[in-house]
Every structure is written in C-alpha cells, then in structure tokens.
Amino acid sequence: MVVSDSHIMDTGSLEDIKSRWGILNASSSPLHIRYIKDGSIVLPGLSDSHAHILEYGASRQLSLEGGKTIKDTVALVKRYILENADVQKDRSRVIEGWGWDHTSWPVEQWPHMDDFEKDPIVRGRSIILQSKDGHALWISPHVLNTSLPFPNEVEGGVIVRDEFRNPTGVLLDNAQELIQKPPLTEDDLLKRFAATVKDALANGLTSVHDAGLNPLSLAFFKRQVAAGNMPIRIYGMTFFEENGPYWGNLSKPIIGASNGRFSARSVKIFADGALRSGGAALFEPYHDNPETNGFMRLDPAVLYDVIPRFLSDGWQVNVHAIGDRANSIVLDAFESTLKNVNVTALRPRLEHAQILTEADMARVGKLGVIASIQPTHAISDMWYAEDRLGPERVKGLYAFRSLINHGARLALGSDFPVEDMNPLSGFYSAVTRLSFDGRSPHGTAGWFPDQRLTRQEALRGMTIDAAYASFTDSEVGSLVPGKRADYVVLSQDIMTVPVGQILDTKVFATAIDGRPVFGEI
C-alpha cells in the first residue's frame, strides 16, 4: 500500500508497486518502504457505529462492572471515596459511577437507596450511579431528597416504588431526567474526551459514531473542531428532545468539518427503553413479568410527525428501538416516509434493532434501513433473554443472520461504555455467539448458532458498511487508491486464525490520514 500525505495512492504486490513506481533498488526508491511484522495484517481503520464518547470517559472514573452484588457495588463506591482524598474530605461532593448490572447479581433485584446508608464511609453522600445499559439510575437518599417532589407518573419512564408507593432510589428511562447532575467544567469534558480517544486508538478504532450528542456534548465537540483538537473521526447523532422545539429546519447538518474528522448530520430519537431494565416495548407481555409489555418513550404520533420532517430537511434519522413493537412502529414511520424518496441519500438507521418479527426483518431489507447492531449485547443478554422473552419470541432477538438474509446492511458497534470498547470483542461475538470463555446457554456451538455472521460480514460491519452508515464510504472503510489512509495493523490475521485465538490479537499500530496515532510501523 502506497501512502502519500493522507491518502492511499496505490496497492498491490511489492513487485507490482516497484514496477509501477520505477523502483530498481532501495537506493533509487522514491518511496520510504516500511514492513510489518511476519504474521501481522493491515486492515481498514475500524469503526464503532454506536458508542458514547464522553460517557465512556466518565465511566472510567468510577467503574462498577466488578460489583457482583449490591454489597460489592457499594464497596466499589467506598473504595473510590477512600482512594480520592478530595472526595473523602468533601462530603458534599457528588459521586457518579457507571456500570452496575442487576441482571448479573445472584438475585436479580433492583437495588435500594438505603443500601448506601449501611456503610459509614458512604452514608449521607450524594451518589448517582448509572446502570450498565444506561437506562436506569440508582441514587442515594440525599440525592432523592434534594430532587423531590416527584410526579406520580413519568411518561416513557418509571419511578420504582415500594409497596407503600415510596420511591426506592431507582429511576428508569425518562424518569432519570428528574435528577439534576452537577454541571461539568471544560476540564471535566477534556479529561473524558482524552481518556476515550486514548483507549479507542489503542483498540484500532479510527472512527466512532456518537449515539446521542446532547447540547452540551455537541457544543464541546464544536469547540474541539475550532481548536483543531480532533484526533479521531467522530460521526455525531444530535439528541432529539420530544418536548423541545423542532430544530431540523433551524440548524444545518455539519459535514466533514476539521478536515473530514467531524460530522453531525443525523438525529437520534429514542423509541423505547432497554430489555435489561424491562423498558423495551413488546407486542406481548414479558415472559418473566406478565404485568407489563414495556413502554414507548414517546408517543408514536411523534415519530410519524418528526421523521418525515427531519428527512426532508436533510438529516439522517437514527432511532433507538429495542422491542419488537418499538421496531415495528419505527419501521411503519420509515415506510410511510420512504415511498417516494432516495433511501441511499437518506440512509435511515435502526439503532440496536434487537427484537424483530420475521415480517419486520424483511421490511428492514426491503426499505434499505441500516441495522446498527452491537454483537456483544447478544453474549451479555443470552444468559437471561429466554427467561425474559420466552422460548419462541427469543428467536427474534439479535437475529443477525436473518437480517442479512433479508437483505439488510449491518453496521457494527459496541455501545461503549455499556460493553467492551475493543472492536475485536464485537467481531468475536458476531462470528461465535459465545462468551469470551467459550460458553453459551446452547453449548460451545454458540447461542442460536444459525444466527452467526461470517468473518467477512462482521469485518464489513466494522469497516465499509459502518462507513456507509456515516456517509463516508467514498473516503474510508476500505484500502483502495483515492481513499484516506486510515488503517490498523493487527498482530495476526483475524480472518484465518482459530476463533478461540481472535481475542489474543494485539493492535500494533493505528493510523489516521496516513499518520500513526498509536503504536509504530
């Protein structure tokens, strides 16, 4: 591969390159030739099609994923307090953490605000802990008391209450907005951004699709563009606020700012909640909780209203949809809009597309809607999914092969910090449907092994199809002359090594615009 400045000029065998470029010997070469290590491989720069950049940086401050019980999780908060002298001394300091997962605890139950009060170090502090899936908050009594009064109900959300109707300190989906978090300083934001970029480049990521830029995040990234501080490609989805004014005709999409490294040309809309927290909107009640079938986070009429307007105003529309009912409603709205338009020019996306009926899988392919999926969600959820959905409905969950067979284009991501940032974790999950230690509820062949992707399909979802989903497929996503030289050097060929060795792969180097930004060549 011949790279000049930021672009790929030529590819081929070394002999062909030497012939075309008039290289007779090393001393006469107009090129500086570099060799990669034996056994290693060069791939297009990898993309994460659904992630949360500043939230990941925040999650690195106090990670709760090691908490295997409620008591363990509180102990992690205690350790954080004791390891940070400024936090320990200032009892008014708000403590934020990320990653608790009640579905992984021995007894699957919601935590309670009083659990914080059992430890004298933790007691009485302001604590706000985000769940692993981002759809629930667990707060301390002090935070709850300063947030009261709560409404009786929250549309598109739940205030978890005890048998006496008192709040327990857990808030789901839209109810999370009842809690006011402390304002972030510019230094806070810069630290979060730097932490995410450092890890992303070390994992071979050259492009990240940020799935929900709120006004604060969007303004921050605009400032980084103006300051020339854009060390990785970011494709932003601007957050849609149901109760705010329609802004699709008031602001223009940002396309290719900072020399092609920043775009914000799509809108992110939430249709429903999450499966893990029981907020995904289903046609039929949950198998393990027949009293509910989840909920929509907004009225379907809103989707029918704003989707056509955003599309007509030149915005890509990306809708978070988990449950089969939510996905069907979103597809109805897309179908009513896309009849007489150029779908390739609009490239609408279903973010997650987790549970679909067979008929709706066919509609995804027919309509040309992109399915933005996260394979590591499948191996996280497979341990409880059948209990939650039942033996028949669960067959439509994370049905990647069925979507492909119906003609859908898949863009792969991780939803970090919800799951591991490493794109090879997603690659491995997509082609094996096994946990990282080789297990599944269906044995070593994988969970619903007929839904596995091929390695080529998985790689496309992390490269050229991810680029298509962000309108950058003419610039990046494959290693061909004329495209930008975004590439990653891996220690071994993930397309041929035994699947059990995929996760042993190391990133030797990551390059953006022809320049190494991690490692060396």
Structure pTM?
0.90
In-domain check, residue 63 = yes
* Structure token digits, residue 30: 């107009």
**Burial letters for 264-275: b for 16+ Cβ neighbours within 10 Å, e otherwise?**
bbbbbbbbbbbb
Query: Three-state SS string across 264-309, please?
Result: EEEEEEECECCCCCCCCCCCCCECCECCCCCCECCCHHHHHHHHHH
* Structure token digits, residue 159: 């205030």
Length of the chain: 521
How do residues 309-319 score in pLDDT, each as one tens digit?
999 999 999 99
In-domain check, residue 109 = yes
Q: Which pLDDT score is estimated for 143?
A: 97
Please spell the DSSP secondary structure of 462-477, one letter per residue. Answer: HTHHHHHHTT-TTTSS
Range of the domain at 93: 59-178
In-domain check, residue 515 = no
Q: What are the CA-CA distances from residue 29 to residues 20, 205, 481, 482 (Å)?
A: 12, 32, 20, 22
Q: Which of 148, 143, 145, 147 is nearest to 95 (CA)?
A: 143
Q: How far is residue 454's CA from residue 457's CA, in Å, rounded to a whole number?
A: 5
Q: How many domains does the chain have?
A: 1
- The long-range contacts involving 296-300, CB below 8 angstroms and separated by at least 24 positions, are 296/156, 296/271, 296/272, 296/325, 296/326, 296/329, 297/156, 297/157, 297/173, 297/174, 297/270, 297/271, 297/272, 297/273, 298/156, 298/242, 298/269, 298/270, 298/271, 300/329, 300/332, 300/333
Using 50 as the pLDDT threshold, list the residues of the chain that sit under it. none
Q: Which pLDDT score is estimated for 31?
A: 82
* Structure token digits, residue 437: 């230690």
Q: What is the CATH number of the domain that holds 122?
A: 3.10.310.70
Are 507 and 203 within 8 A, CB to CB? yes
Give every CB contact of residue 421 below 8 A, 6+ residues apart in sequence.
Answer: 48, 51, 56, 199, 200, 203, 205, 414
In-domain check, residue 368 = no
In-domain check, residue 206 = no
In-domain check, residue 204 = no
In-domain check, residue 131 = yes
Q: What is the dihedral of CA 76, 77, 82, 85, to 10 degrees?
A: 140
